[in-house]
Amino acid sequence: MLEVKNLTKKFEDRLVLNDLSITVPDDEILAIVGPSGAGKTTLLRCITGLETPNQGEFFWNGKQFDPKNNDLIGVVFQDYQLFPNLTVMQNITLAPTMVKKEPLKEVKKRAEQMLTQLGLQGKEDIYPFQLSGGQKQRVAIVRAMAMNPKILCYDEPTSALDPALRDEVAKIILGLKQSEGMTQLVVTHDMDFAKNIADQIERVKALS
């Protein structure tokens, strides 16, 4: 269970998040919805340690954790941010081998499995520029999953995609819930998409 308690974030004098608390039970999917500029990305960036909140505490299964330093959370960015100079496989294996010092062979084996599950078999040795947007996103998901996170965060996973691919993404997210028991936070401004995937919907309102 992920708990965020009393999260407040200001940019200069501008209040973006005010005393916000959320709870996400294990295996569940929380959709964070709201209009553009409401602070959805900021909320996600606080949870993933990319912004420092002015106030707020974070707990995983009752134990407090530091968003900037934990191995609980994986992130799938809105623009994916794959490393363009590395192949698909290198993108995935880089962190597990360099950070966790896992043997390359094992990481590769797991990566192959996940790539195949997501229909990316045969793409291991090509570079990100050779992938479509949807494929990039799936590689970004596999890259995040390769670090074995407990929580996976997505910022606007449908915004850069062809509308026809929306259901594909929903299927992947729901699939990860089922097969991996992944707790997932999904920021979106697409209400239909949110209703499709979420166990719980958190509405973020613009404050100023």
Partner 1 sequence: MLNYISGIMPALLSGTRMTLSIFFWTLICSIPLGALVGLGLITKFKPLAWILNLYVWLMRGTPLLLQLIFVFYGLPLLKPYAIIFPRYQAALFAFILNYTAYFGEIFRGGFQSVPRGQFESAKVLHLSYPQTIRKIVIPQVVKIVLPSIGNEVINLVKDSSLVYVIGLGDLLRAGNVASARDVTLLPLVLVGIIYLMLTAVCTIALRMIEKRSSVWR
Ligand X SMILES: Nc1ncnc2c1ncn2[C@@H]1O[C@H](COP(=O)(O)OP(=O)(O)O)[C@@H](O)[C@H]1O
Per rule CB under 6 A, count of chain residues that contact ligand X: 10
Check binding of 37 to ligand X (CB under 6 A): yes
Pick one of ligand X, partner 1, Mg ion, none as the site partner of residue 81 (Cβ within 5 to 8 A by kind). Answer: partner 1
Query: Which CB atom, from 38 or from 142, has the smaller least distance to Mg ion?
Result: 38
Q: Which residue is it, tokens 């999260």? A: 7
Pick one of ligand X, Mg ion, partner 1, none as the site partner of residue 38 (Cβ within 5 to 8 A by kind). Answer: ligand X
CA proximity to 118, closest of 102, 142, 98: 142
* The length of the chain, given as a count of residues: 208
CA proximity to 5, closest of 54, 63, 66, 58: 58
Per rule CB under 5 A, count of chain residues that contact Mg ion: 1
Alpha helices in 48-198 (DSSP H): 88-98, 104-117, 133-145, 166-180, 191-197
Check binding of 95 to partner 1 (CB under 8 A): yes
**Sign for the pseudo-dihedral over CA of 50, 55, 61, 62:** positive
Q: Which stretch binds partner 1 (CB under 8 A): 29-37, 84-92, 172-180, 191-199?
A: 84-92
Judge whether 38 and 205 are in contact, CB under 8 Å: yes
| Phi (first) and psi of residue 108, to 5 degrees | -60, -40
From residue 92, how far is each of 8, 10, 26, 73, 151 by CA, in Å? Answer: 34, 34, 25, 16, 17
Of 77, 111, 131, 177, which lies in the binding site for partner 1, with binding defined by CB under 8 A?
77
Pick one of Mg ion, ligand X, partner 1, none as the site partner of residue 52 (Cβ within 5 to 8 A by kind). Answer: none
Query: Which CB atom, from 80 or from 93, has the smaller least distance to ligand X?
Result: 80
Query: Which CB atom, from 36 or from 179, has the smaller least distance to ligand X?
Result: 36
Query: Which CB atom, from 53 or from 128, has the smaller least distance to partner 1?
Result: 128
User: From the CB of 60, what's the least distance to ligand X, in Å?
Assistant: 23
User: From the CB of 76, what's the least distance to Mg ion, in Å?
Assistant: 13
Provide the binding-site residues for ligand X, judged by CB under 6 A: 11, 16, 34, 36-42
